[in-house]
Structure 1
């Protein structure tokens, strides 16, 4: 029996909480995964995984074995990585999850640069505003926006997202231009709610150096970033969006910024990954690449909250609009 392979299969079954998902992530037939676990349990002389119709759970021996497997496999990966860094580039499949807007507008338009640097990494990119479970879904790392809740993950902050409060010209002509935060009480907003718990997310501003939360009234709520911007373009109410998502519409006049002197609180961008995978060279190079990508644009680096060197002229936007590449506009 290949003990290292058995350890890898066992930890992946535990991480994904599924024989089927473990098999898919490892590129193996499901019967092979089942056989390997059965042979491993027979070799060790103990039951590692308790199987029910709905979920898997570790036996006490299984929990102890899992913890030791993590340490052994991490050490093996560290040894291999030390040689790979010298003799070859990072390689293998890298599973990433990120918000759809960041993926479509920021990462994918510049992905050719990553591919040219790391051609041996096979990328599997999930685009969703849903917060995935890295353990259960077999994801190597995820790009997340906002405050982080899960302390079991390793996180590296790679940037800050600048925001903007905007509305359509038609909406502002009908409702008027707010001049203060108090004026927002007579305005309608399109609200954004969390996919995780359904909670409507309050607006947040920085006024005189202090963070101020504002609860906006509105009759439409969505949980998708692109749909959120679309609702703003349709004039259903004010929206508070990442500036990179509304940049082209601000430049063409399809949206107008309100309260430009009272900016929304910036949101941190982080890449999170599992403790057991923190030594992976392919994860490390992706995190470094994301950090460099954010650093290259002030709208994502937080380097200057007042200057806007990424904002192009209306002529530039009209010329480049056919590409739909926000990454080009922000370069």
Structure 2
């Protein structure tokens, strides 16, 4: 890490790193939809039934690529890029579209948790969700003893435990 950055947050698997790390929380990618959408259009039982549904996809701002949706089917990983009626380039726009009933979309569970708790979103095809990944804090060895960095780590850990 360069440029005076004390702590970085990594969402996803870690590559080999010389940085120190602490796992903050697990997450999974899963499909979600609003209860209203599912009441109107039905709930798919298998990923191949997504072709019969409206989907909302996420386009990565950094690469312009559409996010592929991973599913575990019979112990094998299958990644699909659904034909999309709507594509957005920010997770908050994706969540808003899903909560408004635009269709089914795939999101990390840590993003959707409050919406699921409030009943605004419902998990779909969760039996086919891929293995869990981690949200991890990273920092260089040179920052280990920094009291502000230690306090920030503790605050992050408490926040993730509170929302787990």
TM-score relative to the length of structure 2: 0.76
Between structure 1 and structure 2, the one with the greater Rg is 1
The CA distance in 1 between the partners of 2:154 and 2:75, in whole Å, is 31
**Deviation readout 1:26-59 (Å, 9 max, x if unpaired):** xxxxxxxxxxxxxxxxxxxxxxxxxxxxxxxxxx
Structure scoring higher RCO (CA < 8 A, sep ≥ 6) equals 2
Q: Is the 8 A contact 1:203 1:214 kept in 2?
A: yes
Q: Which residue of 2 aligns with 1:32?
A: none
Aligned equivalent of 1:257, options 105, 116, 123 = 123
Contact 1:168/1:233 (8 A) holds in 2: yes
Task: Write the distance in 1 (CA, Å) between the matches of 2:10 and 2:132.
Answer: 14
Q: 2: distance between equivalents of 1:283 and 1:209?
A: 41
Q: For the residues of structure 1 that align with 2:120 and 2:50, how far apart are their CA atoms?
A: 21
CA apart distance, 1:160: 0.8
**Is 2:21 aligned against 1:155?**
yes
Find the counterpart in structure 2 of residue 197 from structure 1. 63
State which of 97, 101, 107 in structure 2 corresponds to 1:235.
Answer: 101
SS for the counterpart of 1:261 is helix
Shift of 1:201: 1.7
Structure 1 counterpart of 2:149: 283
Q: 2 CA distance for matches of 1:242 and 1:258?
A: 13
Which runs of 5 or more residues in structure 2 are unaligned? Answer: none
3-state SS in 1 of match to 2:126: coil
Deviation of residue 279 (structure 1)?
4.2
Let me know the Cα RMSD of the aligned residues.
Answer: 3.0
CA contact (8 A) 1:141 1:283 kept: yes
User: Hey, what's the Cα distance between the residues in 2 that align with 1:207 and 1:194?
Assistant: 25
- Inter-partner Cα distance in structure 2 for 1:141 and 1:252: 32
The equivalences for 1:1-331 within 5 A come to: 135-136=2-3, 138-148=4-14, 151=17, 153-291=19-157, 293-294=159-160, 296=161, 327=163
* Greater per-residue helix proportion: 1
Distance 2:42 2:57 in 1: 19
Over 3 Å counting, the alpha-carbon distance change for 1:263 and 1:142 in structure 2 is same
Q: Alignment length, in residue pairs?
A: 164
Unaligned runs of 5+ in 1: 1-133, 298-326
SS at match of 1:164: strand
Give how far 1:166 is off.
1.3
